Amino acid sequence: MSAAAIISPPAAETIDDKLGSHTISLFVHDRPGVLVRVALVFARRGYNIESLVVSPAAAGGFSRMTITCSGDPATLDQIIRQLAKLVDVVRAIDHTGDAAYETEIALVKLEVHDEDRTQVLQIAEHFNAKVVDYATDSVMLRVYGGSEKLDALIGLLRPYGMSELVRSGKILMARGGRET
C-alpha cells in the first residue's frame, strides 16, 4: 500500500472546535448606552465577550466595535441578528473565516535581573518587540501582531518574572472592497 493510499482518521472533535472563536464587527452610532445594550445581547444568550475594542469610525458620529467571543455558532447567528436589530447598530458582521487583517498590541513589564536581561532582549528582538521602558530592575516591551504571535511571546517571557501584562484585544479590517 502506498503512502498516498493511507488515510489517517479524522482528529476527534473537541468542545473548543465546536465553540470556536469568533470576531464580530459592529458599526454603531456614537451615543450613550450603546455599549451596554450590545453587552446585554451577549449576556442574555450566555455568551462571554473575551475582548472588546471600541474606537471612533472614519465618519463622525459613529464608532466601530470589534468583539471577540467563543461559543456555539447557532447561538452566535441569533446574537448577530439581535445586534443588527438594535436601533444604534448600523451594521453587524461576523468576520470569522473572512479575508481580514487582524492585529492587537500588548505591553509586557518584566522584573528582569542582570543575568536574564540579555535573554529577554533577544526574545524581544526575535518578535520585533520594542523596549519602551528600561530600568535597573525592569523592562517594558511593546509588541503588536496576531494573537498567536503575542501568545507565543508571552509564553516565552513568563519564566522571567512577568509583573504586568496589558493586551488591547483584537482589531480587524476586511480586506479589499468588503465592508468591515
Could you say which architecture CATH assigns to the domain 15-97? 2-Layer Sandwich (3.30)
pTM of the model: 0.77
Judge: domain 101-173, CATH 3.90.1150.200.
Answer: no
62-70, strands of its sheet edge to edge: 48-56, 62-70, 21-29, 89-94
Q: What is the pLDDT of residue 7?
A: 35
Amino acid at the residue 144:
Y
List, in sequence order, every residue forming a beta bridge with 27; answer none if it has no partner: 64, 91
CB 72 within 8 A of CB 20: no
pLDDT category, 177, cuts 50, 70, 90? confident
Q: What would the pLDDT profile of 36-57 be if each residue is shown by its tens digit?
A: 999 999 999 888 899 999 999 9
Decide if pLDDT at 158 tops 60.
Answer: yes
Average pLDDT in the 104-115 region? 93
Q: Where are the domains of the chain?
A: 15-97, 101-173
Q: What is the pLDDT of residue 46?
A: 85
Domains 15-97 and 101-173 share a fold: yes
